[in-house]
Amino acid sequence: MVKLLFLKMLRDMKKSLAAYGICLLIVGVGFCGFCVMSVAKDHLLVSRDLLYEKSAFTEGFAEVYEAPAAIKDKLADIPGIGEVQARIIKEARLTDIGDGNARLKLISYEKGGRNVPMLFQGTDVKAGELQVVAGNAFLEARSLAVGTKIHVLVSGKDTELEITGGGISPENIYIIRNIVDMYPDAANYDVGFVDQKTMESLYGMKDMANSFAFDLDPGYTIDDVKDQVEELLKPYGCYSVYGREDHQSASMLDSELDQLDQMALVLPFLFLFVAAVVLYITMHRLIEQQRIQVGTMLSIGITGRQIGWHYLGYGLTIGVIGGLAGGLLGNVCATPLVDYYRVYYNLPDAQAGISMKYLVIGVILASVFCSTVSYLCARKLTHLSPAEALRPPAPKGAKKTLAERIPGLLKLFTVPGIMALRSIGRNPKRSMLSLFGIACAFMITATLMSVSSLFDVFLFDNLEKVQHQDFTVYFEEPLKTVDVLSSVENENIEKMEPFAETQAKLIRGNEELDCTVQGIDRDCELVHLYDADGETIHVASEGIVLSIHMAQRLGVGVGGWVDVKVTYPEERITRVPVTAVMEQYMGTTAYMSMEGLADISKYRNVCTGLYIKAASGAEELIWKDLEGAPQVTGLEGRIAKIQKWRDMMGSFDMLIGMMVALGILIGLAVLYTSALISFEELKRELSVMLMLGLSAGECLEVISVGQWILTAGGVLLGIPMTFWMSHAFAVSMSAKMFSIPDFADAASVAESAVLMFIAVFISSRLILRKLKAVSPVSLLMERE
């Protein structure tokens, strides 16, 4: 008997192969995504843990302006702190590589100590020698070999360093000069590990340090020792004490792992819901058609429970095959994603192996979900007696539907259109499921399309609307503003504006935020600050301008206040009013007037950099003039940075396009399945209409009008769902260094609506082909 029922199931599924195939595809894609993200997360975790172990990554860090290295012994005496390492960290510009914009973040280390590079090639540096272990990604990007000598600018002097090896450490898992860069560019910015004594000699810091790294004893956290560390290092300009979880490099990786976890949790259920819609519509129609078959099976002794298990098998088959296919494909497809992350996050190659866990989870979850849907469809029928099941169901009531009760509405439709309206009203369950399925497909499409606009707000607005300079020049140390402006003479420079930056901590109640405070002229033209309404913001003589991200972190708005703590040249805490909040979501830079910064930090009449506007066509001349200037440690070109980002966004847009296409296909699957069931139900009516002389296109209105109405309703329902999804993604993806705004926008929503209506048109064309193949005479001769 089991064999007979199994063969019957295979025959039934073959008859509706398109609907079941669509359902299987959706389940497979959903669990492929689940498996890809889960396996990628496992691989990254294994790689991260291996790197932490090999490099002896410490658990706490303290940054100062300059302190005796011997202070590390006093740090080690603080309860909860274990081994302490004194380091020197400086940024040096490469003078013989690239266009003058390439830099290395030089970090001192001692072989066998803490925070050492994990070597991929070559050897460690020798004590006291002018040697460097460069970031492995930098060597590959620049095609440099071990033994090559490079030139860096150290304290205004050209210094030659020999590359002895290439490696990585947790400090350059994600290496960027500042958060505005976002995407690592190893060819122009990476780390270089130099011997401790060599660094002391290069920078004239014998027995001195500007960074301390330390381990924590078991049971202690960074919060347990932070206040004592700050108090001890206070005389030396301590501006930041943080744990491993707040380290920029490690924090970005942890944030990405959390996002993978959340996406892996949400993705399969979203696809399962859409698959459930398709499966329910298909199974409900099948069981209605097989009522007499069920009665026959009951009358020959097959129990209702066995029949229930039989129909449950339809969903179980879809779930097992879809989950298995998705899991296997996901394990395969995880490799390219892991390889991409290893480049983006600079991690060692540590394999986590094929995950049977996620394969089994996918199969079980998909099977339970799909088989439950099938059982719910068959539950009522299996409780009937044989005599009840053999009788046709009682005809549905002929009450007017809601649409028919609306005065004048029916006059807008032809007879086929009225039939479509009645079909929607008299099949409320199927209509509602189709509506929600279309809404989900629309939400996926609109959300993904909105991601492209997110980068305009998140990244390009800052580069194109806030920054109006052509070049930004950074000095090695604060310089007298008058001397700088008088010394930079170039006829191709249209405008120069100095700025001063200092590290600070913003405090509001129990909330603290490490940041950079930048002082600019009150009438600054090369930095244009604006609020959420697009209104221009000017820095006040007293007060501070925060970004939206910083204001949200601190829980403060315009008219409120923050305590600004600076540690250089001496520690001072000043209460400053918040005069404006600018529309910026990335980075932790606050703005003040030059006078305001001078009042809280004694940065009086000095600057740490210049904004420069070049004459048209003279950018290259100015670049060559500035790149070799003394005291210049950094030189950035805004236009080049924008172009670099635009180029990188090209491949990202292609990925988004593929995912948008997937959303459209899901919508098409729901629409086509619903239309296909309607077509099967209305075959006889359509045949009669064909016999009466109506064309296939006119008969199509009976189905297509209903699809257009359901799609319009699905789009309207999907719009608030899209904004909710946008907000949910924004909250989950935001990190300590940036916030994600609610990125759904009207243009993307409108474009997605157009794409969904195109899907309706395609679905209608597919049904039209079936309609043209109908033989009215042969169909009308058949019996139900």
With contact defined as beta carbons under 8 Å apart, do 738 and 586 qualify? Answer: yes
Cα–Cα distance for residue pair 664/671, rounded to 1 Å: 10
pLDDT at 75 over 90: yes
Residue 500 pairs with which residues in a beta bridge? 519
User: Does 363 score more than 60 pLDDT?
Assistant: yes
Tokens coding 679: 């077509």
State pLDDT tens for residues 113-144.
899 999 989 999 999 899 999 998 899 888 89
C-alpha closest to that of 352 among 362, 361, 360, 342 = 342
pLDDT tens-digit profile of 286-342?
Answer: 777 777 887 888 888 888 788 888 888 888 888 888 888 888 888 777 777 777 777
Output phi, psi for 708, to 5 deg: -65, -40
User: Mean pLDDT lowest for which of 257-271, 624-638, 689-703, 754-768?
Assistant: 624-638
Q: Is the pLDDT of residue 214 over 90?
A: yes
C-alpha 761: how far from chain center? 32
Sheet holding 208-216, edge to edge: 81-87, 208-216, 60-68, 240-243
Best mean pLDDT range from 489-503, 617-631, 639-653: 489-503
State which H helix or E strand residue 628 sits in: none
> What mean pLDDT value characterizes the chain?
82
For the residues 728-756, what does the mean pLDDT come to?
77
Query: What pLDDT does 664 receive?
Result: 78
pLDDT at 605: 87
Q: Number of helices (H) and strands (E) in the chain: give both, helices first.
A: 24, 22
d(CA 401, CA 233) in angstroms, rounded, equals: 78
DSSP state of 172: G
Binned at pLDDT 50, 70 and 90, residue 19 comes out as confident
- Say whether pLDDT at 353 is over 60: no
Q: Residues 80, 85, 90, 95: is their CA dihedral positive or negative? A: negative
Contacts of residue 301, Cβ cutoff 8 Å, sequence gap at least 6: none
Residue 719: pLDDT band (50, 70, 90) is: very high
The arithmetic mean of pLDDT across residues 727-732, rounded, is 75
Residue 458 and residue 742: Cα distance in Å, rounded? 10
**Residue 399: per-residue pLDDT:** 65
User: Average pLDDT of 553-575?
Assistant: 86
Q: What is the per-residue pLDDT for 351?
A: 61
Cα(313)–Cα(643) distance, integer angstroms: 56
| 550-560 pLDDT tens trace | 898 899 999 99
- Looking at the predicted structure, is the pLDDT value of residue 199 above 90? yes
C-alpha–C-alpha distance, residues 432 and 425, integer Å: 10
pLDDT confidence of residue 471:
84
Residue with tokens 């497809």: 333
DSSP, res 527: B
Tell me which of 70-84, 220-234, 387-401 is least confident. Answer: 387-401
* Residue 107 predicted with pLDDT over 90: yes
pLDDT at residue 352, rounded to an integer: 54
pLDDT value at residue 122: 92
Please determine, for residue 569, whether its predicted confidence score (pLDDT) is greater than 70. no
Most confident region among 245-259, 272-286, 457-471, 579-593 by mean pLDDT: 579-593
Asked whether 334 and 36 are in contact (CB, 8 A), the reply is yes
* pLDDT value for 166: 92
Q: Are 748 and 438 in contact (CB under 8 A)?
A: no
Confidence of residue 77 (pLDDT cuts 50, 70, 90): very high
Tokens representing 658? 């593929």
Q: What is the pTM of this model?
A: 0.71
**Cα dist from 259 to 351, 627, 683, 733, whole Å:** 21, 40, 48, 6
Residue 507 confidence (pLDDT): 92
What b/e readout covers 597-614, taking b as 16+ CB neighbours within 10 angstroms? bbbbbebeebbbbbbbbb
How large is the average pLDDT for residues 43-55? 88
Give the three-state DSSP class for 533: coil
Span 527-550, pLDDT tens digits: 888 888 888 899 998 899 998 888
pLDDT tens digits for 131-178? 999 998 899 888 899 999 999 888 778 899 999 999 988 888 888 776
**In the predicted structure, residue 416 carries a pLDDT above the cut 60:** yes
pLDDT, mean of residues 674-689:
77
Q: How far apart are CA 31 and CA 11, in angstroms?
A: 27
Residue 740 has pLDDT above 80, yes or no: no
Q: What is the pLDDT of residue 784?
A: 46
Lowest mean pLDDT among 367-376, 723-732, 745-754: 723-732
> Does residue 650 surpass a pLDDT of 70?
no
Q: How far apart are CA 177 and CA 101, in angstroms?
A: 11
